[in-house]
Amino acid sequence: MMDGSIEDELRYVRDRLKEYLDEPATSAYAISNIAARYVAVCEKLHDMVGGDPLLDLEDDVTEVNENAGASIV
């Protein structure tokens, strides 16, 4: 883990927010605010690390060779 990087800080905040959400003593009034902040931090972290490469399918360009395969006679 790299000391002091923004990614490390976001991971720390994300983990702390998750702990607050899972804690039975957390007030019901605080849950929606904590959940909203948790999602925002998760989205920032996701954007920082490049997102999920499996979701970037539209960026792939595939060429099709029309002469490949069987031919009709």
pTM: 0.61
- Boundaries of domain holding 12: 6-50
13 within domain boundaries: yes
Give, for all 73 residues of the chain, the pLDDT tens digit: 445 689 999 999 999 999 999 999 999 999 999 999 999 999 999 888 766 554 554 554 555 555 555 556 5
Q: Which residue has the tokens 């690390």?
A: 49
Q: What pLDDT was estimated at residue 64?
A: 54
Please tell me the predicted confidence (pLDDT) of residue 49. 76
Q: What is the pLDDT of residue 48?
A: 83
Please tell me the total count of domains within the chain.
1
Residue 55 lies inside a defined structural domain of this protein: no
Q: Is residue 62 situated within a structural domain? A: no
Q: How far apart are CA 25 and CA 43, in angstroms?
A: 26
- Radius of gyration of the chain, Cα coordinates, nearest whole angstrom: 22
- Please, are residues 48 and 10 in contact by the beta-carbon 8 Å criterion? yes
